[in-house]
Amino acid sequence: MSYIPGTARERAEMLADTGCKSIDDLFSCVPESVRLKAPLNLPEAQTEFEVLSDIESIAAKNRQYKAIFRGAGAYNHFIPEVVKSLSSRSEFVTAYTPYQPEVSQGILQVIFEYQSVICRLTGMDVSNAGVYDGASAAAEAFAMCRERGRNKLITFSNIKPQVLSVLKTYACSAGAKVEVIACVDGLADLGALGCALDDTAACVYIEQPNYYGLIENAQDIASLVHEKKAKLIMGCEPVSLALLKTPAEYGADIAVGEAQGLGLELSFGGPYLGYMASTTANMRKLPGRIVGKTTDSEGRDAYVLTLQAREQHIRREKASSSICSNEALCALTATIYCAAVGREGLIEVASQSYSKAHYAAKLFSAIPGFGLRFSGEFFNEFITDCPCDAKKIMSALAERSILGGKILDCGRILWCVTEVNTKAQIDEVASILKEVTAV
């Protein structure tokens, strides 16, 4: 089955129309020396029914938990059914990039709405249409900041390890530098930052909240960075922005982040969505697609892909990036999610996550051996000590179908609580922590 509509007879007639005697004739330009001599060695074709039941049985080998207390860059939020229903409309799903604006106004308008949502959440002036994920967004932002002589990004050991890894990969490939400096009590060390900020520093990247869940004193960082003529990139979790001071309020030059929390399923890590927003001054350095509003010849509002002089299909090797995908369907999902929960709903998601995380932190840290690692203000993730092998804790939780926090290299546990975690679940985790360590 190849989803080919034509019958054998129709195909034979079509072949005759091309003037070829056989299908092989159509491939006469492929030299004999590179022709595959044997069929591809792949599993036999199966019917859709068979394949789906096979894939279902593979899915069943995955373990599904009834409660999740793990975040570390991917967050379990409630996704309203209306979001899934609308974002699965096949006109959206099966379209290409909106190169032909007249037949793509729906998609272009959604991207325009997405850009507006991101600007409203971050307070920034301009948003692009999205990039692959939060980590690549950070790497692309670094590329925006590099200029002659300024080739270094400074960041802290408290950013997400996966983001740091991607930043380093991109930097290494481009011949740029990433300098990682230490933290004090889990927060960016301003003293060390002051020393690292030399003439070669293009930018500083911080996360808000950081990997440990802590809220940075971004105001002081921003002042220091700008004093040294470098740029500040803030990696902000978008749900937290319903409550937290915006990157614009802190004076960030570029805001980026992982927007998975805005209505995208966990999906074993993808597809996710990286957002990128900047000040107007940096607008023409933004990579990727951007949608703008204009009019058609009759004066009707119309949306188009714009500022394309930045992009690879025009500028080729002088483009700011090769990216052309904007994870459009993910951007659409995030937009619909934000409109579905709305202004009050997103605040509620963020406040419930915040309140429940603080309840959990208080409860867990009262158990001997599970003290809070850091004293700073946190959003919805926090680190506790662990008096035993943390794997023991995870197994005990798993027996009750609870996915515990992430075990860090130091043996401590990074917990995450969102609005979907109930008080009963949090209480249950606490009692299991007690049970396991009591024996």
At which residue do the structure tokens 């004090």 appear? Answer: 184
245 Cα distance to chain centroid: 20
Tell me how far, at minimum, the Cβ of 195 lies from other proteins, in Å.
Answer: 26
387 cis-preceded (ω within 30 degrees of 0)? no
Please, what is the minimum distance in Å from the beta carbon of residue 248 to other proteins? Answer: 9
User: Is 229 or 281 the residue whose CB approaches other proteins more closely?
Assistant: 281
Question: What is the spatial distance between Cα 411 and Cα 342, in angstroms, rounded to a whole number?
Answer: 39
Minimum distance of other proteins from residue 137's CB (angstroms)? 10
Name the minimum Å distance from CB 281 to other proteins: 13
- 360's CB contacts (< 8 A; 6+ apart) are 69, 382, 415, 417, 421, 426, 429, 430
271 CB-side CA count, 13 A: 14
Q: How far is the CB of 154 from other proteins (least distance, A)?
A: 18
Q: In what order do the strands lie in the sheet containing 126-127?
A: 126-127, 274-278, 254-258, 231-236, 201-208, 152-156, 177-181
What's the closest the beta carbon of residue 230 comes to other proteins, in angstroms? 21
Residue 222: what residue type?
Answer: A
Nearer to other proteins, 251 or 345 (CB): 345
Tell me which residue has tokens 């662990």. Answer: 386
Kindly state the smallest distance separating residue 375's Cβ from other proteins, in Å: 14
Cβ closer to other proteins: 103 or 190? Answer: 103
Residue 6 vs 191, nearer CB to other proteins: 6
Q: Which is nearer to other proteins, 230 or 397 (CB)?
A: 397
H helix intervals, 127-240: 134-145, 161-174, 190-196, 218-227
**CB-neighbour burial class of residue 385 (10 A; exposed 0-12, middle 13-18, buried 19+):** middle
| In the complex, least distance from residue 381 CB atom to other proteins, rounded to whole angstroms | 12
What are 236's strand-pairing partners?
208
Which of 422/431 has CB closer to other proteins?
422
Report the DSSP pairing between strands 183-184 and 67-68.
unpaired
Beta carbon nearer to other proteins, 197 or 376 = 376
Task: Closer to other proteins by CB, 122 or 224: give it.
Answer: 122
**How remote is the C-alpha of 100 from its chain's centroid?**
28
Q: Which residues pair with 156 in a beta bridge?
A: 181
Residues 34, 65: Cα–Cα separation, whole Å: 49
